[in-house]
Amino acid sequence: MTSLWNVGFFLLFVFSTTNLCFGCFEHERQALLRFKHSRLSDPSNRLSFWNGNNCCQWPGVGCNNATGHVIRLDLPSQLPFSLGSYIEGNELNSSLSELTHLSYLDLSRNNFSGSPVPEFVGTLTRLRYLNLSSAQFSGVVPHQIGNLPSLRVLDIGRNSELIVDDITWVARLLSLEILDLSGVNITGARDFDKVLFHVVPSLQELRLAGCKLSVSHFDQTHLHTNITHSTIQNLDLSSNLFEGHIPFFLQNMTSLRVLDLSWNQLNSSIPVMNNLVELKLAGNAFSSFQDTGVWRFCEIKRLDLSNLLNGTVPSSLGNISELRFFDLSSNLLQGPLPDSIGELSKLDYLDISNNFLSGAVTESHFAKTSMLTYLDATSNHLLHFKIPPDWEPLFQLTDLRLTSCKIETQFPPWIQTQKHLFALYLSNTSIYGPLPDWLQKLPVIKRLDLSNNFLTGPLTNLQPNQRTKPGNDSSDIRLLLLKNNFFNGSIPDSFCNATDLWFLDLSENMLSGNIPECFGNLQELYAMILSSNHLSGAIPSSLGKLGSSLSCLCQGSALQIMDLGENSLTGRMPRCFKNLSQMTRNDSKFTFWEIFEPAIKQAIKGNSLEYTKTMNYLVTMDLSSNNLGGEIPQELTFLKGLLSLNLSNNHFTGRIPNRIGDMKSLESLDLKGNNLSGMIPQSISHLNFLAVLNLSHNNLSGRIPTGTQLHSFNPSTYAGNNQLCGSPLPTRCSGDERIETDGTEKQEDEEDANKWIWIYSTTSGFTTGLLVILGILALSRKLRLSIYNFVEFCTGIKMES
């Protein structure tokens, strides 16, 4: 008996380690390599790690531990963090059809350039999970997908060029539980509503967002009768064309628990659906709470009413005792926030941002909200948070956003009780005084925005390194916005220990001293905005050597915004700026923008523009209004990804770099108020995207280079350069008069020549024609007699022959 057990354990061990001992099957490895070497572009180099004999160890590839067969291919784009993380190709290579044991295939968020979904996908009959969403496929969805009997999850959504012409194949997917067709054109598929809502026996989640559906696309009579047998629990009909009332068949879906009707044009009361626990009505046409009828949903747990609701927040909402997620943002609500909100003991998420609420918010509004983790009251300018300094809340927040509300006290002491605080936004709240000692002890904060307040004193109480705890990598701050306060003193060297810092804005304060040399250690820093301070410091002659107040910045390979304008920096401009690799790329991109959403104001294109998360491609360098001198280094022209360059109001000398035209992405160039001399380089006319140019008040000379854009700028662009000439300036260059005179004489000569050519051609043609006619008459007596007779008939004059 013991020997049998030993044999059993031995066989179990052998089977469980087969792929570890022998690697994956060779034909499957070769299939993956053919996929890798097909017409694919891989900017992220994920597939470059596909080497070696054991493909089970390749990134994105998973194998069955017992058999060694490839069963998983997981290659979605890693958005939003990794720049260029997608795979790009013109087709999905058929070599994948040889992975016959594949049960999981995810190629979402890549770019297959409008190619069709290949039919061979229908041969992978062991697939249980298939995700081709947001992958730029187009054409008709192949019916062969209906041949996948084990498929449980099918997501082909967000491919706007895909078409479903016949949806009956879905009825063959007897194991299907989740189906996402969002953004796919299904309106031409006959009886799609009956198939999706009634026929598929196991379907639990159906997403049809953005499919341009309206009530007319549904057979409501049929569905009203038969939909009670539907198994769908989660239904997404957002971003469609429903108007007025919701489709009445929905209230008979007794299995429905989650309903998303956001971004339609609904305006009538929602009927009670007793089993519903989540309802999303954002972006509809409701005008008041009474229109929605939501107060009757006593068991609802998640409620999204971000709309254009008018009026006040009714106190009856405090009766929805099960409510955990409540979004009232982006409405037109006025008046006070009712105290009954504090009765929602299970509330976890509360968003009342972007309204017109007023009055006081006190501790009574949070009397029983012990489970609250997210609170956003942003942009309620008349809402006044009057919280006693000794208040100890029941909750532990992870995210607190009170931007543009009123606090009007020193830094709120109760915040120090929030040990799990991840994000703190107190911008424009009129808080004042020094930063409290305990702020640096908040253990996990990553985003801190205290800008536009009246905070004073040094930054010594905000030292990121002191917050770091051993073994806790979540404590490194990533967003730090302290703009427009009254901070003074120097920037502490301890800031350099925040090695995960992505965005730093210390502008419009009274900071002095040198920029810390160790800022070069901040390898993840995308934006450094230190403008409008009193920073100073000389740059030693050894420009490439680390240790100068500017050359140290050249190590910041991720840097995309560098704004040091309006300080007192001295010395020369480092040549090592060519090391700013993100500025040398033509496709430089803020990949964190959707995460942090900081509002950045930059003086670019002649206006103060506000860049938010929609502005993904912002790469700028501003060193204006300092005391920098010397020549502008040629190495600066290596920054081909730069959109805006501002070196105005310094003491730069010498010529504008000859290769300035290599900065192909440049849209704004400001060099005014320096001591630049010589001619404007001809290459500047190659800047096809240049919209703003200011070269005024220098010592430039010679002719303005020819080029449509350069001549279209206002003459003030070149003002204060007395030796410049040519269009658009009124000053003509030497020799322009002779060129103009020569041009006029040449035009007159051409006109005379054309006139004589016309006279010669006409005379020659007439003479030739006359001679031909006379010759014919001389040779043909019969024709001559006919003409004589015709003349006699018309004139009555007798002709002699």
pLDDT at residue 531 greater than cutoff 80: yes
Q: If pLDDT is split at 50, 70 and 90, which confidence band does 481 have?
A: very high
Q: Are residues 689 and 793 in the same domain?
A: no
Residue with the bigger pLDDT between 488 and 541: it is 488
Which residue, 141, 163, 185, sits at the end of a domain? 163
Q: Are residues 570 and 619 in the same domain?
A: yes
Q: Average of pLDDT values for 87-95? A: 86
Beta bridge partners of 315: none
Q: Are residues 650 and 774 in the same domain?
A: no
pLDDT at residue 551, rounded to an integer: 45
Check which CATH number belongs to the domain holding 527 and give it: 3.80.10.10
Q: Are residues 613 and 504 in the same domain?
A: yes
Q: If pLDDT is split at 50, 70 and 90, which confidence band does 784 have?
A: low
- pLDDT above 90 covers what percent of the chain? 49
Residue with the bigger pLDDT between 656 and 85: it is 656
pLDDT at residue 156 greater than cutoff 70: yes
Q: Average of pLDDT values for 690-713? A: 89
- pLDDT above 70 covers what percent of the chain? 77
Q: Are residues 646 and 787 in the same domain?
A: no
pLDDT, tens only, 202-250: 899 999 999 998 888 887 777 766 676 778 999 999 999 999 888 877 8
Which secondary structure element, helix H or strand E, spans residue 268, and what is its range?
Answer: none
**Least confident span in 5-19, 260-274, 423-437, 632-646:** 5-19
Residue with the bigger pLDDT between 648 and 247: it is 648
Averaged confidence pLDDT in the chain: 81
φ, ψ (nearest 5 deg) of residue 455: -75, 145
pLDDT at residue 779, rounded to an integer: 55
pLDDT at residue 635 greater than cutoff 80: yes
Q: Are residues 727 and 791 in the same domain?
A: no
pLDDT at residue 579, rounded to an integer: 53
Q: Identify whether the C-beta of residue 347 lies closer than 8 Å to the C-beta of residue 370.
A: no
pLDDT at residue 444 greater than cutoff 50: yes
Of 704, 702, 701, 720, the closest CA to residue 712 belongs to 704
pLDDT at residue 558, rounded to an integer: 66
In angstroms and rounded to an integer, the radius of gyration of the C-alpha atoms of the chain is: 37
Kindly state whether residue 367 falls inside one of the protein's structural domains: no
Q: Average of pLDDT values for 472-489? A: 82
Q: If pLDDT is split at 50, 70 and 90, which confidence band does 294 have?
A: confident
Q: If pLDDT is split at 50, 70 and 90, which confidence band does 18 have?
A: very low
Cα–Cα dist 442/419, whole Å? 6
Of 382, 279, 378, the closest CA to residue 324 belongs to 279
State how far the alpha carbon of 758 is from the alpha carbons of 43, 408, 617, 748, 753, in Å: 65, 89, 60, 15, 9
Beta-strand pair 503-505/527-529: parallel
pLDDT at residue 463 greater than cutoff 80: no
Of 554, 613, 559, 555, the closest CA to residue 585 belongs to 559
* Cβ within 8 Å of residue 142, ≥6 positions away: 116, 117, 118, 119, 121, 122
Q: Which domain holds residue 553?
A: 473-536+549-737
Cα–Cα dist 208/201, whole Å? 18
Handedness of CA 339, 344, 348, 353 (dihedral sign): negative
pLDDT at residue 573, rounded to an integer: 83
pLDDT at residue 273, rounded to an integer: 83
Cα–Cα dist 494/597, whole Å? 26
Q: Are residues 777 and 728 in the same domain?
A: no
Kindly state whether residue 662 falls inside one of the protein's structural domains: yes
- Residue 258, burial from CB neighbour count under 10 angstroms (0-12, 13-18, 19+): middle
Kindly state whether residue 387 falls inside one of the protein's structural domains: no
Cα–Cα dist 574/539, whole Å? 8
Q: Average of pLDDT values for 347-364? A: 96
DSSP 689: T
Beta-strand pair 88-89/40-41: antiparallel
pTM for the structure as a whole: 0.79
Q: Identify whether the C-beta of residue 515 lies closer than 8 Å to the C-beta of residue 484.
A: no
Cα–Cα dist 694/669, whole Å? 6
Of 603, 729, 584, 597, the closest CA to residue 670 belongs to 603
Kindly state whether residue 277 falls inside one of the protein's structural domains: no
**Least confident span in 41-55, 448-462, 470-484, 661-675:** 470-484
Question: Other CB atoms closer than 10 Å to residue 144's CB: what's the count?
Answer: 16
Q: Are residues 556 and 697 in the same domain?
A: yes
pLDDT at residue 440, rounded to an integer: 83
pLDDT at residue 489 greater than cutoff 90: yes
Q: Are residues 16 and 66 in the same domain?
A: yes
- Residue 275, burial from CB neighbour count under 10 angstroms (0-12, 13-18, 19+): exposed
Q: Identify whether the C-beta of residue 106 lies closer than 8 Å to the C-beta of residue 75.
A: yes
pLDDT at residue 460, rounded to an integer: 79
Phi and psi based region of residue 760 (left: phi greater than 0; alpha: psi -120 to 50; beta: remaining): alpha
pLDDT, tens only, 535-578: 998 542 322 333 334 444 455 456 788 899 999 999 888 766 65
Q: If pLDDT is split at 50, 70 and 90, which confidence band does 24 have?
A: confident
Q: Are residues 15 and 148 in the same domain?
A: yes
Residue with the bigger pLDDT between 289 and 51: it is 51
Of 130, 194, 140, 188, the closest CA to residue 162 belongs to 140
For tokens 């809502």, name the residue.
Answer: 197
pLDDT at residue 90, rounded to an integer: 84
Q: Are residues 720 and 778 in the same domain?
A: no
Q: What total of structural domains would you count in the chain?
A: 3
Kindly state whether residue 133 falls inside one of the protein's structural domains: yes
Cα–Cα dist 81/43, whole Å? 14
Residue with the bigger pLDDT between 728 and 467: it is 728
Work out the end-to-end distance of the chain between its first and last CA atoms, rounded to an integer number of angstroms.
Answer: 145
For tokens 């959403």, name the residue.
Answer: 597
Question: Token pair of 165, please?
Answer: 């012409």
Residue with the bigger pLDDT between 673 and 601: it is 673
pLDDT at residue 738, rounded to an integer: 54
Of 72, 17, 82, 69, the closest CA to residue 558 belongs to 82
Q: Identify whether the C-beta of residue 552 lies closer than 8 Å to the C-beta of residue 517.
A: yes
Q: Which amino acid is at 603?
A: A
Which residue, 689, 717, 737, sits at the end of a domain? 737
Kindly state whether residue 369 falls inside one of the protein's structural domains: no
Question: Other CB atoms closer than 10 Å to residue 18's CB: what's the count?
Answer: 17
Q: Identify whether the C-beta of residue 689 lies closer than 8 Å to the C-beta of residue 711.
A: no
Kindly state whether residue 558 falls inside one of the protein's structural domains: yes
DSSP codes, 343-354: G-TT--EEE--S
Q: If pLDDT is split at 50, 70 and 90, which confidence band does 81 have?
A: very low
Which residue, 682, 717, 737, sits at the end of a domain? 737
SS (H, E, C) 515-574: CCHHHHHCCCCCEEECCCCEEEECCCCCCCCECECCHHHHHCCCCCEEECCCCEEEEECC
pLDDT at residue 251 greater than cutoff 70: yes
Kindly state whether residue 4 falls inside one of the protein's structural domains: yes
Q: Are residues 53 and 138 in the same domain?
A: yes
Cα–Cα dist 99/549, whole Å? 57
Residue with the bigger pLDDT between 307 and 360: it is 360
φ, ψ (nearest 5 deg) of residue 204: -115, -30
Among 367-371, 497-501, 610-614, the range of highest mean pLDDT: 367-371
Phi and psi based region of residue 312 (left: phi greater than 0; alpha: psi -120 to 50; beta: remaining): beta
Question: Token pair of 309, please?
Answer: 């609701």
Among 82-91, 306-315, 612-621, the range of highest mean pLDDT: 306-315
Three-state DSSP class for residue 654? strand
Three-state DSSP class for residue 596? helix
Q: Is the peptide bond before 76 cis (omega within 30 degrees of 0)?
A: no
Residue with the bigger pLDDT between 8 and 640: it is 640
Angle between helices 781-795 and 736-779 (to 10 degrees): 100
